[in-house]
Amino acid sequence: MNEVQRAKIIIKVLNKTYPKIPIPLKHKNIFTLLISVLLSAQCTDLNVNNVTKNIYPNYYKPEHFVKLGRRKIEKLIRSIGIFRIKAKSIYNLSKKLIEEYDGKVPKTFEDLEKLPGVGHKTASVVMSQGFGYPAFPVDTHIHRLAQRWGLTNGKNVVETEKDLKRIFPKKYWNKLHLQIIYYGREYCKARECYGITCKICTSCYPKRKKPIKTKKA
């Protein structure tokens, strides 16, 4: 079975399992989506949502966070990992949006990746979930699953993203990356499936008997 055949199986299973898929990070507008994605680094979506539900009713514009200042932002997000670094990024990002983008989130990868604390993955999520632009955000979890499912030999998330974009038609990208995330959390867990128990793994590799070791991103 080649990668194209495996890709067809994966799309079929994911569409059946998750015909409709919600955006996991709660947000009020595209700016708050950007903030939530930034906060989600090294942190669960659930933790981010628990924190931001008390923030976004009152603070949801760059101006709000600039007025708050770094110290108050730190207090608001204290329960999130590396909160001081993230607070600094949020403050500087908000300031830059006001000074250079009229307080609006830019709609290009290039401009998004110029913002403090915003890398390619964060920009991809905003482009995909915020603006509906075809993108395939790849984190370490998708990287691991892509290896298990025989879609990539990539050594890092950049190489894996290129492989997934090559294999899957562009029209599927936005929905597919979310479906993969949800499927990985529910069925193809790092320490439960091991590449030999879930529907996708057993369909793509029916003869696989030993747990597969994946390369870390």
Out of 26, 67, 139, 165, pick the active-site residue: 139
Q: Do residues 117 and 89 lie in contact, with contact meaning Cβ atoms separated by under 8 Å?
A: yes
Out of 121, 189, 215, 216, pick the active-site residue: 121
Statement: the pTM of the whole predicted model exceeds 0.75: yes
Is residue 163 part of the annotated active site? The answer reads no
pLDDT band of residue 42 (cuts 50, 70, 90) is confident
The closest of 180, 145, 152 to 167, measured between CA atoms, is 152
Q: Do residues 170 and 134 lie in contact, with contact meaning Cβ atoms separated by under 8 Å?
A: yes
Domain ranges of the chain: 3-21+136-204, 30-130
Cβ-based neighbours of 116, under 8 Å, separated by 6 or more: 88, 89, 92, 93, 96
Is residue 45 part of the annotated active site? The answer reads no
Fold matches, 3-21+136-204 and 30-130:
no
**Which CATH architecture describes the domain 30-130?**
Orthogonal Bundle (1.10)
Average pLDDT over residues 58-70: 98
What is the overall mean pLDDT for the chain?
95
Cβ-based neighbours of 45, under 8 Å, separated by 6 or more: 24, 25
Q: Out of 41-45, 156-160, 164-168, pick the least confident.
A: 41-45
Between 3.40.630.30, 3.40.50.300, 1.20.120.80, 1.10.1670.10, what CATH number should domain 3-21+136-204 receive? 1.10.1670.10
Span 177-187, pLDDT tens digits: 999 999 999 99
